[in-house]
Amino acid sequence: MERITARYYIETPYAVEKAAAVLAGEQSSGTFVAVPGETEELKNQFAAQVEHIEHLETVSEPAIPGASSPDGSYRRAMVDVSWSVENFGHNLPTLVSTLQGNLYEITQFTGLKLMDIHFPESYANSYRGPRFGIDGCRSLTGVTSGRPLLGTIIKPSVGLTPAQTAEIVDTLAQAGIDFIKDDELMTSTANSRFEDRVDAVMRVINRHADRTGKKVMYAFNISDELEPMLRKYEYVLQAGGTCAMISLNSVGLTGAKRICDLGELAIHGHRNGWGMLNRHPLLGIEFPAYQKLWRLAGVDQLHVNGIQNKFWESDDSVVRSIASCLDPAPLGKPVLPVVSSGQWGGQAFETYRRTQTTDLLYMAGGGIMAHPGGPAAGVTALQQAWEGAVTGLKLEDAARQYKEFRQSVEKFGKLQFSRA
Ligand SMILES: O=C(COP(=O)(O)O)[C@H](O)[C@H](O)COP(=O)(O)O
Ligand SMILES: [Mg+2]
């Protein structure tokens, strides 16, 4: 019978073997004592199994509160646990309740992080995964390989009217941008009703597309309860849009999958709330596991933060996240990594040096909108930065060569997002 294996980074005040056995027990037979009916036969078929333990360091302070060690030591380990697929079939919410449920509450742990998930073959047959992914998004925007899709987030995030938003879209489209999106804070506001914004923006985008043959991809934020979200999806589709955005952690796997299953618009997955799930080194989930769940749901584009970003995440972590999006496993289809957060083009050089890929959606919000020459110059600067990065120029050489990029360096180059 097929099994799903999950890898956890754990810390325990007790013996690692015992703690791992409690995890496996709680997450399959499900209680703290043996109960009638829990036969050997049932356990053999359905009990979770500890497959592998790799002992790591021992520390003297617990990573998170909730339990204390009798001997003052807290042992860390990497533990692989497997479950029979029979326990949950192909049911993503129950899979998550099993792999990420009560186990975080067990006192045998003073740290627990889901690092990765290994899915068996049958998952690739049961889930379509990204309908568009990298190739589909390239062909919808007309961006052939050799450079990333370049995009922006309309800023200010809220407060602009549909007409003002459409005016910015007009400027950006003329400058040759590939992708624009609503911020996650924007769906329908008192002065920008969703439908009015779609009408105003798509009028501009369709007009440009008729003239130039290039249709800018605009990710309208449809995040909402299920029925209104479906109505908004349909509205975007009818207006000629090619993309919708959802805040993944807010709409959940069920909502995301329902939307992705429709398969007519590329789905931009925003991961706001990520810090809550990941920022602690010994609590939550790591991106390789996280992205697989959303990929099973069918998301086409997924945020990975960015090199030298404005948030807390390290460059190493961003590079790892990009690699995990580009790895075709488990469905044979990669998801397009969305590089975003404090980007302005200057980071293109290090991003390319470290990842050696252009299969990215590279977005600058403030980095385009606040360019000294205006948003159109901001788009040009981003194009120049990537042209320079891919052709092997150093940032300083590109700044000498390209005027708009030089202006970006002058304005944003001094910014250092500080972190410990
Ligand atoms: O609005 C922005 C970035 O704006 P700006 O370009 O102005 O910084 C996005 O919400 C974050 O990139 C999300 O980051 P994450 O990848 O961590 O979800
Ligand atoms: Mg945002």
Residue located nearest, by CA, to atom 11 of ligand 1: 341
**Per-residue pLDDT, 418:** 57
Q: Which ligand is nearest to the CA of 304?
A: 1
The amino acid at residue 31 is: T
Q: Which ligand is nearest to the CA of 274?
A: 1
Of 138, 145, 152, 141, the C-alpha closest to 343 is 152
Q: What does pTM read for this prediction? A: 0.96
Order of strands, sheet of 111-118, starting from the edge strand that comes earlier in the sequence: 49-59, 74-84, 3-12, 111-118, 283-285
pLDDT in tens, 321-376: 999 999 998 889 999 999 999 999 999 999 999 999 999 999 999 999 999 999 99
Residue located nearest, by CA, to atom 2 of ligand 1: 341
Domains and CATH numbers, the chain: 3-126 (3.30.70.150), 133-412 (3.20.20.110)
Answer yes or no: is pLDDT of 29 > 80.
no
CB atoms under 10 Å from CB of 180, counted, come to 24
What does the pLDDT average to over 54-82? Answer: 97
What does the pLDDT average to over 276-303? Answer: 98
CB atoms under 10 Å from CB of 82, counted, come to 18
Which of left, alpha, beta for 353 (phi over 0: left; psi -120 to 50: alpha)?
alpha
Of 288, 293, 290, 362, the C-alpha closest to 324 is 288
Ligand 1 neighbours (beta carbon < 6 A) = 153, 155, 183-184, 271-272, 274, 303-305, 310-311, 340-343, 364-367
Residue located nearest, by CA, to atom 1 of ligand 1: 183
Q: Calculate Rg over the CA atoms of the chain.
A: 23
Q: How much of the chain exceeds pLDDT 90, in percent?
A: 89
Residue located nearest, by CA, to atom 9 of ligand 1: 341
**Per-residue pLDDT, 62:** 98
Å from CA of 346 to ligand 1 middle: 16
CB atoms under 10 Å from CB of 244, counted, come to 27
Cα dist from 169 to 177, 182, 265, whole Å: 9, 11, 19
The amino acid at residue 67 is: A
Q: Among 39-48, 117-126, 307-316, where is mean pLDDT lowest?
A: 39-48
The amino acid at residue 106 is: I
**Per-residue pLDDT, 414:** 80
**Per-residue pLDDT, 27:** 79
Which of 180, 277, 341 is the pocket-test mutation for ligand 1 (most atoms within 8 Å of CB)? 341
Q: Among 83-92, 158-167, 278-287, where is mean pLDDT lowest?
A: 83-92
Residue located nearest, by CA, to atom 5 of ligand 1: 365
Answer yes or no: is pLDDT of 244 > 60.
yes
Å from CA of 184 to ligand 2 middle: 5
**Per-residue pLDDT, 417:** 61
User: Would you say how long the chain is, in residues?
Assistant: 420
* Residue scoring higher pLDDT (391 or 329): 391
Cβ atoms of 296 and 123 closer than 8 Å:
yes
Residue located nearest, by CA, to atom 16 of ligand 1: 305
Q: Which ligand is nearest to the CA of 342?
A: 1
Å from CA of 183 to ligand 2 middle: 5
**Per-residue pLDDT, 197:** 98
Which of 153, 322, 347 is the pocket-test mutation for ligand 1 (most atoms within 8 Å of CB)? 153
Å from CA of 272 to ligand 2 middle: 8
pLDDT in tens, 366-381: 999 999 999 999 999 9
Measured distance CA(242)–CA(75) in Å, rounded? 50
pLDDT in tens, 174-213: 999 999 999 999 999 999 999 999 999 999 999 999 999 9
Quote the distance between the C-alpha of residue 128 and its chain's center.
18
| Interface confidence (ipTM) of the complex | 0.92
Cβ atoms of 126 and 90 closer than 8 Å:
yes
Å from CA of 51 to ligand 2 middle: 40
CB atoms under 10 Å from CB of 57, counted, come to 9
Residue located nearest, by CA, to atom 13 of ligand 1: 341
**Per-residue pLDDT, 136:** 98
- Where b means 16+ CB within 10 Å and e means fewer, 361-386 reads bbbbbbbbbbbeeebbbbbbbbbbbb
